[in-house]
Structure 1
Amino acid sequence: MTELMTREDVPGTLEVHDPASGELVGRVTAATEQEVAGAVRAARAAFAVWARTPAGERAEALKAAAKELRERADELAEMNTRETGKLPDDARGGVLAGAGTLEQYAELGPAHRGRSLQGGWDATDLMVPGPRGVVVALTPWNDPVAVACGLLGAALATGNVVVHKPSERCPHVGRMLSELIARHLPLDVLQCLDGDGSVGAWLAECDGVDVIAHVGSTATGRSVAAAAARTGAKVLLENGGNDALIVDADVDPRLAASQAAVGAFANAGQICVSVERIYVHRDLAREFLDALAEEARKRPTEVPMGPLVDERQRAHVHDQVRDAVERGAQVLAGGTLPDGPGAYYPATVLAGCTRSMRVMTEETFGPVAPVQVVGDFDEALAEAADDRYGLTATVLTNSMAHAQRAWRELPVGTVKVNDVFGGAPAGAAHPRNASGEGFGYGPELLDEMTVTKVVHIGLAGG
């Protein structure tokens, strides 16, 4: 995820390399501090017009952008694959999901409404939502189109203007997306700035910004929040997670291993809600571990799995694996740096894990499944809950009582029962603790992007 840098880090030319081959994808020039300030000023000027544009017209612009996004899905997906290593089908799926999100907010925007209040008979009292102003969107590399479309769509549908900085790990696909949407909007309603963490820092500190929406690492999110505390900007954060998977004693261990493998290894473990740590009941631990190691060895020969986003991320993942091994974990699959080009890392299963290991207490964001054996469901629930993050957790169980306890007691924004991925569309949750704050998606994101004004209209002279 994007890291904020100090002011001494002077922006310049950034290179992006294909994580599968190491080949140069392209170069971009990072924005200067003066260009950042200029973009915010231009956005503020554009806000006066866009905020007054009827909601239906804003919606039509988003629908037109979504249509073009679908037409150019292959083009954006190819660039995403080249920049981040995301598998082609997954990359295309992310683009189409982004188009669907733009369409969703195009429909929800005009329906976003206030309330009438019951006041005096000779007066009118209302609660009316309105746009906040200038929104800065700092978006990640692991699903750059889908995530960005959520933030951009909700902000634009409600009459805000946006300055978008995509991750420096995928600047080309981020700019392609912003420019595609911007073609359907008035000048400067949506702008895109290239750059690394220093550009994000300048945006977060810039006067004139009303909302900062950041999806990325916890360290960066805290820097953003600290900057916003000085400027008064509202902050929306979806940050790191250390998502737990509990495998109860009454489930099929092979089916549980299949779920765990999908959760831990999909997109090479680079999903915000990937399974990061596993607690399995001792009665089925051996069979579960054997099946999970078998699932790991299927990747990538039988089940496709791409590289990590770059060598830096691979080094981070391998450091956590080495730390676990040094502290007593056993490697059942993977765990070694492969030969050859690219930032590939094998699907890895670690047994005998404990809380003394970084892989159980920190976000790994790679294809690693660390497993801790527990004596009963109470122990599993306690271990899963004892964490500084609060994004997501999954429970595999045939016990309704255990499922009920899990969703009520786990201090996370989303609890999934018997399915590591999935869920109804338009759901929205609050991440907890180090994982962030505020609704980052769903209809509730429209509330985050707006302010409510109470209006009382009485009779003159009354």
Structure 2
Amino acid sequence: GVEAGIGSLEQYAELGPLHRGRSLQGGWDATDLMVHEPRGVVAVITPWNDPVAVPCGLLGAALVTGNTVVFKPSERTPHTGWRLAALLAEELPAGVVNLVLGDGRAGEPLAGHPGVHLVAHVGSTATGRAIARAAAGSGAKVLLENGGKDPLIVDAGVDAEWAAQQAAVGCFANAGQICTAVERVYVHADVAAEFTDALVAQARALVLGSGRDPDTTLGPLVDQRLRDGVHAQVRGAVEAGARALTGGEVPKGPGAFYPATVLQGCTDDMTVMQEETFGPVAPIRVVASFEEALAAASSSSYGLAAVVLTASMTHAQRAWRELPVGTVKINAVFGGAPGGAAQPQRSSGHGFGYGPELLDEMTTTKVVHLAAYDR
């Protein structure tokens, strides 16, 4: 998180001077320009699960394009947000970086304030929708990266052990608390049994514990409230006919720990297959064909990202063309070139939240026609 945040600040420090407008070829007796200008005041509202890297990207892009910023970090990570804002403010003129702390009772009036010209948000879909409603009254531009329900398709013909390793990383890394975590798995019947057994073994091998313990490979959830929501989805799936092959029980003792959980026999009408879980849960549905998997993966109201594991170039090409998401990853759950930028679709938001294109979001374009006075 910290290293990624530093990298984002350095990236936008280098990209900022290169972000320029265009000169247009009109008449020879005048100059025509398209000029990027700062939007003004940017409200940056960020989540708790990546409290350094995500704000650094939005803050860096806003600042290098000449905006001032009001930064509201998540109420679940206020001290990290305060420290980040303080470090930036030390290097900038007074009033350029401003900090607001609090939950939605602070975020909603900030998003709807008439002095705010752009609201940049990363977080849940519910919060994103509340921000959009608040900003509608002032006419501020809204840049949203909301929640996701990212599918993983495991095609016939892939190595089941390798696919299970990919799925374990996608579902269980950071205890599932990643915006682009794998949240539902569609596996072809030809490899389903071997894949499922291997994924269960991967889940059981994780060591649940404190991040201060070097032996820990699966840390806690952010708080009890999130754990209650995760467990409610798992319990609801089991009550509806799914089977917890491992995990699925709240550990005894202090903390918000939850074990890596693999659910077999899931159906798309279960909440665990429809709504964002944000926990270490791998719900599996077995499919009879790639076409069935593609259709199911495309049926969500979310559109953040998707992963496809396949040995077929035909299936790979079809997947990235047809999946209605902002990012498609083929044969790797994480990865991609650092300059890439995607636009989430459907309930997952809209606009470029990172990459060079974020500089366009942070600015407004003015057309200038400059003719000489000839009287």
With normalisation by structure 1, the TM-score equals 0.79
Deviation at 1:461, TM superposition (A): 3.0
Deviation at 1:303, TM superposition (A): 6.1
Matches within 5 A, 1:65-144: 94-144=1-51
Aligned-partner residue type, residue 165 of structure 2: S
Matched residues in 2 for 1:307 and 1:252: separation? Answer: 31
Matched, 1:272 2:185: no
- RMSD across aligned C-alpha pairs, in angstroms? 0.8
Matched, 1:232 2:117: no
Matched, 1:325 2:219: no
Matched residues in 2 for 1:101 and 1:196: separation? Answer: 26
Deviations 1:162-212 (A, max 9, x none): 000000000001110111011000001001111111000110111110000
Aligned-partner residue type, residue 440 of structure 1: G
Matched residues in 1 for 2:322 and 2:280: separation? Answer: 28
Aligned-partner residue type, residue 155 of structure 2: D
Matches within 5 A, 1:354-373: 354-373=267-286
Q: Which residue of 1 aligns with 2:56?
A: 149
- Unaligned runs of at least 5 residues, structure 1: 1-93
Matches within 5 A, 1:55-454: 94-300=1-207, 304-454=217-367
Q: Which residue of 1 aligns with 2:212?
A: none
Matched residues in 1 for 2:194 and 2:216: separation? Answer: 21
Matched residues in 2 for 1:247 and 1:403: separation? Answer: 11
Q: Which residue of 2 aligns with 1:53?
A: none
Matched residues in 2 for 1:453 and 1:181: separation? Answer: 29
Q: Which residue of 2 aligns with 1:461?
A: 374
* Bigger helix share: 1
Matched residues in 1 for 2:129 and 2:186: separation? Answer: 29
Aligned-partner residue type, residue 221 of structure 1: G
Which SS does the other structure have where 2:20 is aligned? coil
Matched residues in 2 for 1:426 and 1:178: separation? Answer: 25
Matched residues in 1 for 2:216 and 2:307: separation? Answer: 23
Matched residues in 1 for 2:107 and 2:137: separation? Answer: 15
Matched residues in 2 for 1:224 and 1:178: separation? Answer: 22
Which SS does the other structure have where 1:387 is aligned? coil
Matched residues in 1 for 2:230 and 2:60: separation? Answer: 33
Which SS does the other structure have where 1:419 is aligned? coil
Matched residues in 2 for 1:372 and 1:255: separation? Answer: 18
Matched residues in 1 for 2:363 and 2:136: separation? Answer: 19
Q: Which residue of 2 aligns with 1:33?
A: none
Deviation at 1:383, TM superposition (A): 0.2
Aligned-partner residue type, residue 129 of structure 1: H
Is contact 1:242–1:361 with CA below 8 Å preserved after alignment?
yes
With normalisation by structure 2, the TM-score equals 0.97
Matched residues in 2 for 1:203 and 1:345: separation? Answer: 34
Which SS does the other structure have where 2:27 is aligned? coil
Deviation at 1:96, TM superposition (A): 0.8
Matched residues in 2 for 1:304 and 1:197: separation? Answer: 33
Is contact 2:109–2:134 with CA below 8 Å preserved after alignment?
no
Is contact 2:305–2:325 with CA below 8 Å preserved after alignment?
yes
Is contact 1:327–1:356 with CA below 8 Å preserved after alignment?
no
Matched residues in 2 for 1:176 and 1:198: separation? Answer: 22
Which SS does the other structure have where 1:254 is aligned? helix
Aligned-partner residue type, residue 77 of structure 2: C
Matched residues in 2 for 1:356 and 1:164: separation? Answer: 38
Matched residues in 2 for 1:224 and 1:322: separation? Answer: 31
- Unaligned runs of at least 5 residues, structure 2: 209-214
Matched residues in 2 for 1:458 and 1:164: separation? Answer: 41
Is contact 2:112–2:136 with CA below 8 Å preserved after alignment?
no
Matched residues in 2 for 1:330 and 1:356: separation? Answer: 15
Question: Structure 1 residues 297-306 or 273-282, which shifts more?
Answer: 297-306
